[in-house]
Amino acid sequence: MKVAVLGANGQLGSDICAAFRRNGDEVCALTHSHVELTSASSVEGALSAHNPDFIVNTAARHHLEKCEADPIAAFTANAIGAKHVAEWTKRAGATVAYVSTNYVFDGGKCSPYLEADIASPLNAYGITKLAGEHFTAAICPKYFVLRVSAIYGLQPCRAKGGLNFVELMLKLSRERDQLRVVDDEFVTPTPTVQIAEQLVVLSRASAYGLYHGTAEGACSWYEFAREIFRATGTEVHLEKANPGEFPAKVPRPKYSVLENSALKAAHMNVFTDWREGLQNYLNARVQAAVAAS
């Protein structure tokens, strides 16, 4: 199978390229320098040059504050960009997978969100990604939308300035004696390698549609930090931040845990418990450091 990955040098895109290559697929790794999502002719040119069977669209503007400050730019990349990709994919008779987010929900449910739950985003980023989902689904008959959550991988996130949450906590633990982390926002931290493996599985399926794709279980950011320090044997004085101590500049859901109910119903779910995913990431991180030395 020939697979095009948009956002190929991103945190998630780089692991997706590696997963499809491990699977024996031919990968066309398309970065922002190869394709501008906001331009229909750029998308047309880049995809027609390779004529892929399966397109994974991870490319997005997803820095929350920047999306809020410039919602038109965010909408043009995340929604109109998805439209351009879906239009090419439909014409080619290919399949598209659009990577979306837990931030399409408002957090009011307080139990894991199912695919059937009504999306009601709180911020411009979530609104533009939900619009991208709708363009993808409405235009292209052979589509997957995969909503992911709180992702982290070995490759730095380009939009968020480099450090994922794990690396940020470990860095701060070296710089400070005491850390305070919010305990009133619940997510499921999900390693990018597992999302990449899930997309390989989906690429072999014809059960098109909307899927939630996160690790199993849930935690607050404080609980995630506590597990990072436990698993790495890091000694640091960690405390729960008081409610409102770190006010968010952009509204975000207090609870955005997803349940992979559609993946499980289709017997396609590859995700493990979030703690196991973290341990695998920490092991891979050590191996990468050894290989680099």
Residues assigned a catalytic role: 125
The pair phi, psi for residue 46, each rounded to 5°, is -65, -45
Q: Which of 4, 7, 107, 224 binds ligand NAP (CB under 6 A)?
A: 7
Of the candidates 235, 238, 243, 218, which has an alpha carbon nearest to the alpha carbon of residue 226? 238
Give the three-class secondary structure for 98: strand
Asked whether position 36 contacts ligand NAP by CB under 6 A, the answer is yes
Between 5 and 176, CB nearer to ligand NAP? 5
Which of 124, 16, 113 shows the shortest CA–CA distance to 62? Answer: 124
| Paired residues of 239 in beta bridges | 180
Q: Which is nearer to ligand NAP, 13 or 277 (CB)?
A: 13
Among residues 1, 23, 32, 251, the one that binds ligand NAP under rule CB under 6 A: 32
Single-letter amino acid code for the residue at 247: P
Between residues 236 and 282, which has the closer beta carbon with respect to ligand NAP?
A: 282
Q: How far apart are CA 187 and CA 253, in angstroms?
A: 9
The correct pick among 5, 13, 135, 269 for binding ligand NAP (CB under 6 A) is 13
Give the C-alpha separation, 10 to 12, whole Å: 5
Does the CA dihedral 150-263-90-1 come out positive or negative? Answer: positive
Please state the closest distance from residue 30 (CB atom) to ligand NAP, in A. Answer: 8
Q: Which residue is nearest to ligand NAP (CB)?
A: 10
Q: Is 157 in the site for ligand NAP (CB under 6 A)?
A: yes
Strands 219-220 and 186-187, by their bridges, are antiparallel
Helix (H) or strand (E) holding 92: helix 81-92
Dist. CA 101–CA 131, nearest whole Å:
12
Q: Given candidates 35, 47, 96, 104, which one binds ligand NAP under the rule CB under 6 A?
A: 35
* Touching ligand NAP, residues 55-84 (CB under 6 A): 58-62, 77, 81
Task: Verify binding: residue 149, ligand NAP, rule CB under 6 A.
Answer: yes
- 11 touches ligand NAP by CB under 6 A: yes
Residue from the set 90, 109, 142, 158 that interacts with ligand NAP by CB under 6 A: 158
Q: Which is nearer to ligand NAP, 16 or 139 (CB)?
A: 16
Comparison of 222 and 267: residue with beta carbon closer to ligand NAP: 222
H/E stretch holding 5 reads strand 2-6
Residues lying near ligand NAP in the complex (CB under 6 A): 7, 9-13, 31-32, 35-38, 58-62, 77, 81, 99, 101, 129, 148-151, 157-159
